[in-house]
Amino acid sequence: MTNPDPAGDYQTVSQTTPAPPRRLTLFAVLAATALCADFVTKEIALASFSPEAPVELFGGLLTLTLTFNDGAAFSIGQGMPWLFGLIAIAVMGYILWLAWRLRDPWWAVALGLILGGAAGNLVDRLIRAPVPLHGAVVDWIQVPNWPVFNIADSAIVCGGVLAVWLAFRGRGLDGQLESTAARQSSESRTDPSEDEQ
């Protein structure tokens, strides 16, 4: 496997080599930023907005309101908060495991956003009424023809879209395109005809 340096060249690395500190720092900073931004804005929403008195901005293109969602992102899957809490914990654990292999800055951005968003909504499920893993997620942003959402939902969607785009391009966690990796792997194999000579 290889890793692109700032100049665009590739360096050979091992699959078991830890992620470069800069990649892990970018990943951690984005996750922490998404988590903190989500928590702070939810606290502001709880103190400032009400379901009975939504605040319309830009002619109704953006509405600031307050809803409590015990389902998944964008109010999907109501009535099973404990299930989505456990799913969030599993997803976060998997992302943290992947982070050890991160060598591509774009994958660090994608996974950092997803981790921060998942953590933001998990915090709601853990600390809000009625009981841990059964708490309702605070949603407060509404746009036309779209479910009410929050900063955590936005981070998950943005990170997910970026991850799909990177995967579609065949870009691995190490930053190398699959076609390049396959070509280098084939070139590294010893030609049987050369051994016979």
Instruction: Tell me which residues are annotated as active site.
Output: 139, 153
Cβ-contact 179, 171 below 8 angstroms: no
Place of tokens 């495991």: 97
70-78: long-range contacts, CB 8 A cutoff, minimum separation 24: 70/134, 70/135, 70/136, 70/137, 73/121, 73/149, 73/152, 73/153, 73/156, 73/157, 74/146, 74/147, 74/148, 74/149, 74/153, 75/139, 75/147, 75/148, 75/149, 76/147
Cβ-contact 104, 167 below 8 angstroms: no
